[in-house]
Chains A and B, each alone.
Chain A
Amino acid sequence: MKRNRPLWRVTVPTLVIIACFALVTAVSAGTGDDNGLSNPEVGVEWVTEYFWPSQNLPSTDDCALGFYNTLGNTGWTQKFNKGTGTVAVDQWVADGSDSSYVDGADIVMFVGHGANNLIKLATDPLRWVYFDCCEWGDYDLEWTLLHSCHTTQIPGNFKSNKRWALNSAHLICGFDTEAYDYAEDGASCAQKLLNGYKVRLAWYTAIDETHSSGVRVGIVGENSDCGNDRIWGEGSVIADPVVDREIYRWLYTCS
Chain B
Amino acid sequence: MKKTYILLAGVLVLVAALAAYALFAGGDGQPGSLPAAQGNAETEFKILAEFPASTDTPYPVYETDVPAVTVQSVEETAKLFGMTGEAAVCNQKTGEIQLVDDSKADISRLSMYPTSGALLYEIPDREYPDTVTEQPALPAGDEAIRIADAFLKERGLLPPEATVKSVEVNQQQEVWKAGGSEPEKVYNITLAVRYGRTLDGVPVYGDEMAVIIGDGGEVVGMVRCWRPVEAAGNTTIVSAEKAYENLKAENTVLPQDLAGYDRITIDTISVGYWMEPRIYEQKTVSPVWVFSGTAYYDGKEEPYRNYVSAVPQGV
Contact = CB atoms under 8 A, between A and B. Distances in A.
A85 B29 CA distance: 5
Contact of A156 (B120, B177, B297): B177
Interface string B6-29: 000000000000000000101111
B208 interface: yes
Contacts of A154: 181
Nearest to A119: B258
B163 interface: no
B105 interface: no
Contact of B172 (A51, A198, A247, A251): A251
Contact of B192 (A87, A211, A253): A253
Contacts of A149: 257-260
A246 B279 contact: no
A255 B93 CA distance: 21
A143 B42 CA distance: 34
Interface in B198-222: 205-206, 208, 210
A147 B180 CA distance: 23
Contact of B171 (A48, A51, A195, A253): A253
A52 B177 contact: no
A53 B37 contact: yes
B29 A122 contact: yes
B250 to A, nearest CB: 7
A181 B194 contact: no
Interface string B158-182: 0000000000111111111111110
Contacts of A78: none
Contacts of B169: 253
Interface string A49-82: 1111111111100000000000000000000000
A180 to B, nearest CB: 5
Given A156-B180, A247-B177, A55 B128 contact: no
B60 interface: no
Nearest to A247: B176
A156 B131 contact: no
Contact of A54 (B30, B98, B260, B278): B260
Interface in A73-118: 83-85, 87, 112-116
Interface stretch (A21-29, A37-45, A220-228): A220-228
A11 interface: no
A249 B131 CA distance: 10
B155 to A, nearest CB: 18
A79 to B, nearest CB: 21
A164 interface: yes
Interface stretch (A2-10, A12-20, A123-131, A134-142): A123-131
Interface in A204-255: 204-205, 208-214, 224-225, 227-228, 245-253, 255
Contacts of B82: none
B277 interface: yes
Contacts of B48: none
A248 B179 contact: no
Nearest to B92: A191
Contacts of A112: 258
Contacts of B93: 184, 187-188, 191
B284 interface: no
A123 B277 CA distance: 30
A77 to B, nearest CB: 22
A122 B27 contact: yes
A180 B258 contact: yes
A170 interface: no
B223 interface: yes
A56 B37 contact: yes
A212 B148 CA distance: 20
Contacts of A133: none
B64 interface: no
30 contacts: A48-B29, A54-B260, A55-B38, A55-B42, A56-B36, A59-B255, A59-B256, A83-B29, A87-B28, A113-B260, A115-B298, A122-B28, A122-B29, A126-B27, A127-B27, A147-B258, A148-B258, A156-B176, A180-B255, A181-B255, A195-B90, A200-B130, A201-B128, A212-B205, A225-B131, A249-B174, A251-B174, A252-B170, A253-B192, A255-B223
Interface of A: 47-59, 83-85, 87, 112-116, 120, 122-124, 126-127, 147-150, 154-156, 159-161, 164, 175, 177-182, 184, 187-188, 191-192, 195, 198, 200-201, 204-205, 208-214, 224-225, 227-228, 245-253, 255
Given A248-B173, A248-B176, 19 more contacts: A50-B36, A51-B26, A54-B37, A56-B36, A56-B38, A149-B259, A154-B181, A159-B178, A179-B257, A184-B93, A198-B128, A204-B128, A210-B277, A213-B194, A214-B305, A245-B178, A247-B177, A253-B192, A255-B194
Interface of B: 24, 26-30, 32, 34-43, 90-91, 93-94, 98, 120, 124, 128, 130-132, 168-181, 183, 192, 194, 205-206, 208, 210, 223, 225, 250, 254-260, 277-279, 295, 297-298, 302-303, 305
